[in-house]
Amino acid sequence: MKFPPYLMPGDKVAIVSPSGKINREIAERGAEILRQQGFIVRIGPHTFEEEGVFAGSDLVRAADMQQALDDKSVKAIFFSRGGYGSIRTHQHLNWSSFFKKPKWLIGFSDITVFHAFLSKHQIASMHGVMTAWFEKDGMLTESFTEMVELLKGKIPQYTLQPNALNKIGVASGILAGGNLSIIQSLRGTPLDISPKGKILFIEDIDEYHYHLDRMMLNLKTGGILAKISGLIVGYFTAITDRETPFGKTSAEIISEAVSAYHYPVCFGFPAGHELPNSPLILGSRILLDVSNKEVKINRV
């Protein structure tokens, strides 16, 4: 696995919008916060355009990202927001310059498309907060400060309280994953996850319980869940029922899908569409240690 160089004060970073349209004030405030951290910030020229739900057309979104990918002076690309559109943007990108000199790509949700692509090419990326999540109530979020520390080279270590649905065990593997809906939508494409030796992280928002069950069964019947080395479950936010209740919670649906396997499973990792949204270095080799007393997740 190839890791981009860690960031240093004075490095240039970019903000681009490959997916949904973004409020100008949010993204510009995000840029100012990054400047306060000592970075030089370049905002993509089309970042604030609008075309339907998107931040401009596919071509202009891709042009901004392409410019950031190709610019050798840019050390990291922060995405303004998720939404929908990354898969459309991805169709128009040329990664040849990036492969010669990788840089950090930082985001979550719809940005899982790019995380999946980089995983296929053995390049690490950052599952972390985007501009609207840099601060809350005028204060920097812990999620943002932790993310910046990791981007500067701090080794991540997490200790969590036990969960009744956890599966006890210890496993080492390469961390992969992100938003479950995106992971499932990429099945059967060149961006489909390669599960062997992976510890899978999943999270999601605004789905029905039956749809969550369908996505987990897709991963199960497709052999993904049988081949991974471990599972880390983040937030499943605003998962609802239709008129007739499904009869299981989100955690119960996921637990049932992996019940036949003997690897460790951790529920309640604080990442996804809520705060705190703890940063994860996708592509890093981690040790997942789940016991009755606690859960430890360390980079190895």
Active-site residue list: 109, 203, 273
Q: What is the 3-state secondary structure (H, E, C) of 21-68?
A: CCCHHHHHHHHHHHHHCCCEEEECCCCCCCECCECCCHHHHHHHHHHH
Q: Indicate the burial class of 216 (C-beta count within 10 angstroms; 0-12, 13-18, 19 or more).
A: buried
Residues forming a β-bridge with 150 = none
For the sheet containing 295-299, what is the strand order? 157-160, 295-299, 285-290, 169-179, 198-205, 230-237, 265-267
CA-CA distance, 67 to 54, in Å (whole number)? 19
CA-CA distance, 127 to 113, in Å (whole number)? 11
Count of positions (residues) in the chain = 300
Q: Is residue 283 within 8 Å of 174, Cβ to Cβ?
A: yes
Closest CA to 283 of 51, 53, 124, 67: 124
Residues forming a β-bridge with 135 = 140
CA-CA distance, 20 to 56, in Å (whole number)? 9
